[in-house]
Copies of this chain bind each other. A is one copy, B any other.
Amino acid sequence: MSTTVSPLAPKHHPDMPAIGGVRLATAQAGIRYKGRTDVLYVAMDQGAAVAGVFTRSKCPSAPVDWCRENLKAGTARALVVNSGNANAFTGLKGRESVRLTAEIAGRAAGCEPGQVFIASTGVIGEPLDATKFEGVLAACDEGAGAGTWMDAARAIMTTDTFPKLATRRVMLGGVPVTINGIAKGAGMIAPDMATMLAFVFTDAPIGAPALQAMLQAGVRTSFNCVTVDGDTSTSDTLMMFATGAAAMNGAPFVANADDERAAPFSAALTDLLEELAQLVARDGEGARKIVTIRVTGAVDDASAHRIAMSIANSPLVKTAVAGEDANWGRIVMAVGKAGEPADRDRLAISFGGIRVATQGARDPAYDEAETSAYMRNEAIDIAVDIGLGQGAARVWTCDLTKAYVEINGDYRS
């Protein structure tokens, strides 16, 4: 948790309502940090349908393995998240540590260990001493109430400079339901599950398979479209919990993601995920500018996405943005290296709506002074038209600054 808040932090955090069936608590377990909370405990006493999307890393953390395994049963009673130690690459000890955490939490919540979901974020490779949760989680369960979501979002931060929260209220079968989400992540952020950790809760009565389908659909245009440094975490975890408490008010049970009554809910969920994903890009380590990259005219959407990610991950593009330089030559380079169909002589490139290149050369009308003035903005839009088809994509990233190097050269020390 940095002492300097990113200049890209939102000016206001949303007011987060309570979610029926969800009790929150945070605590200081002293895992790594001093003088701050490092544990989030969430109890869902009547149980919740659960869905999850995880890192595609071939070397996932022990908690990721645990969640994947227990997701099959589809029911959650508790969530435990700690910051400071990722419990990744900790071998057999790591697996034992997760099991012990689940047992301690299960005793606190009065449920089976398999109904406890666990996420850890922080340093990789250090053994996590789960006995530190002993007592702490029981106290959490006793003290957990409607809780503050702000406290929850703060407890899971590592190098984040601001807490990340979003909320939506939407109608389901004529009944208002709520979706709350929190996220953390600032570095080691890449496609295929971008943020390290994000948790979404709703009181809507939605079955686990439908929840999983909606979550996966929402991830495509949100967390899978954000990158800070192209580095994929071992711990990336997005989980969603649906308590169904709104059924008491008459909200219908949604068993199938295609259920038409759930369409507004699904749209609101995607919207919330996009907001959280953007918050992650805004808190990119050392970021001073938030960059939106839109690719159109690719042969298909997947191709457009790969081109957009190639631009978003290019250190040369990102340093140019940091230097407030509309260096479209580097955009051409990044399009070219994506390996996707592209025709140099059809490319068009704009910064903030100012077209700088068209048909394979600098736009004759291009005004460098106008573009340079635009590049001084905090939010930078880059648009690339490939000129071949109808494929489109939009991704978010941030600039690459000296502060990124500073933060990541000193992280462990």
Q: Which of B88, B229, B405 contacts A404 (CB 8 A)?
A: B405
Decide: A124 near B345, CB < 8 A? Known: A89-B360, A411-B325. no
Give chain B residues whose Cβ lies under 8 Å from the Cβ of A74.
Answer: none
User: Does A383 interact with chain B (Cβ within 8 Å)?
Assistant: no
A308: min CB distance to chain B, Å: 15
Report whether B88 and A337 are in contact in the complex, using a CB–CB cutoff of 8 Å. Answer: no
Give chain B residues whose Cβ lies under 8 Å from the Cβ of A341.
Answer: 58
B-contact bits for A117-129, CB 8 A (1 contact / 0 none) = 0000001111100
A349: min CB distance to chain B, Å: 9
Count of chain A residues with a beta carbon within 8 Å of a chain B beta carbon = 73
Decide: A357 near B125, CB < 8 A? Known: A58-B338, A59-B347. yes
Measured in the bound complex, the distance between the Cα atoms of B342 and A59 in whole Å is 7
User: Does A187 interact with chain B (Cβ within 8 Å)?
Assistant: yes
Interface residues of A in 362-379 (CB under 8 A from B): 362
Label chain A's interface by main secondary structure.
loop
User: Does A8 interact with chain B (Cβ within 8 Å)?
Assistant: no
A326: min CB distance to chain B, Å: 9
B-contact bits for A86-98, CB 8 A (1 contact / 0 none) = 1011111110000
Report whether A411 and B327 are in contact in the complex, using a CB–CB cutoff of 8 Å. Answer: yes
Report whether A336 and B58 are in contact in the complex, using a CB–CB cutoff of 8 Å. Answer: yes
Interface residues of A in 25-44 (CB under 8 A from B): none
For the complex formed by this chain, how many copies does it contain in all? Answer: 2
Among A133-141, A246-254, A315-323, the stretch that binds chain B is A315-323
Report whether A323 and B89 are in contact in the complex, using a CB–CB cutoff of 8 Å. Answer: no
* Contact sample, A vs B, 25 pairs, CB 8 Å cutoff: A57-B333, A57-B336, A58-B336, A58-B342, A59-B332, A59-B333, A86-B329, A88-B332, A89-B344, A89-B347, A89-B357, A89-B361, A90-B360, A90-B362, A93-B361, A127-B361, A190-B337, A230-B313, A230-B314, A233-B333, A315-B315, A315-B404, A320-B411, A323-B411, A401-B405
Q: Which residues of A contact B (CB under 8 A)?
A: 55-60, 86, 88-94, 123-127, 187-188, 190, 229-234, 313-316, 319-320, 322-325, 327-330, 332-342, 344-345, 347, 357, 359-362, 400-402, 404-406, 408-413
Those 5 A-B pairs whose CB atoms lie nearest each other, nearest first: A124-B329, A323-B409, A91-B361, A59-B336, A57-B336
